[in-house]
Amino acid sequence: MQIVLNCLSLTSFYLCFALGLALVFGVMRIINFAHGEFFMIGAYVTYFCVATLAPQIGGPSAWLVGAIVAAAVTGLLGAVLYRAVVVPLADKPLAIFISTLALSYVLQTIVVQIFGPVGLSISPPLRGVVSVGGAILPASRVMVIVAAAALSTGLWIYLMRTEPGRRIRAVAQNPRGALLQGIKTRNVGNLTLIIGSGIAGICGASMGPISQISPYMGGPALWKAFIIIIVGGIGNVWGAVAAAAIFGVLDTLMSQFGGGRFLALTSAAIMLFVLSVKPSGLFGEKE
């Protein structure tokens, strides 16, 4: 039972992070290398809010404020990124990739200057464990599972049931066709980057209490997220959900049964295999 809960927990970690990246990649076809740093900034914003507000309003409330502020700050960063990088460099995906890579270093350095290079820890807003069938799940992990589920469901409803969501899907499917239908693709791109970046911020707020936060935490998370969205199907949000589950189960089982040292190797090998036999990913459609 513990292994099942661990699978669920790890899947939610992967999903939480990959969701925003998959959305941005799927709609805009750009690689935002600074997505990991948006995640990191979400964690630091939450750290700051918890450290300053918790004595007055309590840990859970301070964390909630932190998560909201984190989403707002990273959403704003997404908007700035769109205006400052994506629009001027439209149709130059390599230049956008390099620019976001540069931005990731800039953001890392800023955070190092403000908070220092030594890792920090966010006090868990919820303590204690939930017992299920003799196994345990820490309350702070339940929080991440809830956050990942809420983000996925919310995103699904937004994309499938709202007018802006329909526009986003239209642009993702066929940008030129959407433009001909009168959809303002620039606005859609801006909105997508704000939502995707905001999700990264919420993810940083959720993951912060159960992982060490450091200025460099974005890199490893981004690497795993790339593998997930490539295996799931580039640009396919639901493929990312499925791939997160696949890697959540696989990585948990490998750690459990003595293969922990081969996790990175296995993930990379699976990605290479999928790229070679089905370049569009397991759940992606041929372009």
Strand runs labelled E in the chain:
129-132, 135-138
- The verdict on 48 binding another protein (CB under 8 A) reads no
Q: Left if phi > 0, otherwise alpha if psi is -120 to 50, otherwise beta: which for 239?
A: alpha
Helices marked H in 29-92: 35-57, 59-81
Residue 161's contacts (CB-CB under 8 Å, 6 or more residues apart) are none
Q: Between 179 and 210, whose beta carbon lies closer to another protein?
A: 210
Q: How many residues bind another protein (CB under 8 A)?
A: 42
- Give the whole-angstrom CA distance, residue 243 versus residue 271: 11
Q: Between 61 and 185, whose beta carbon lies closer to another protein?
A: 61
- The verdict on 213 binding another protein (CB under 8 A) reads yes
Window contacting another protein (CB under 8 A); options: 2-10, 23-31, 80-88, 167-175: 2-10
Q: Between 86 and 151, whose beta carbon lies closer to another protein?
A: 151
Bridge partners (DSSP) of residue 135 are 132
Q: Enter the tokens of residue 225.
A: 């997220």
Q: Enter the tokens of residue 63.
A: 């964390």
Among 72, 110, 246, 263, binds another protein (CB under 8 A): 263
- Give the whole-angstrom CA distance, residue 208 versus residue 221: 12
Bridge partners (DSSP) of residue 137 are 130
Q: Between 94 and 257, whose beta carbon lies closer to another protein?
A: 257
- The verdict on 212 binding another protein (CB under 8 A) reads yes
Among 62, 252, 270, 274, binds another protein (CB under 8 A): 252
Does residue 68 contact residue 53 with C-beta atoms inside 8 Å?
no
Q: Between 124 and 239, whose beta carbon lies closer to another protein?
A: 124
Residue 113's contacts (CB-CB under 8 Å, 6 or more residues apart) are none
Site for another protein in 86-145 (CB under 8 A): 112, 116-121, 123-124, 129, 136, 138, 141
Window contacting another protein (CB under 8 A); options: 64-72, 85-93, 158-166, 216-224: 216-224
Kindly list the residues in this chain that would bind another protein in the complex (CB under 8 A). Answer: 2-3, 6, 9-10, 13, 112, 116-121, 123-124, 129, 136, 138, 141, 210-214, 216, 219-221, 223-224, 251-252, 255-258, 260-265
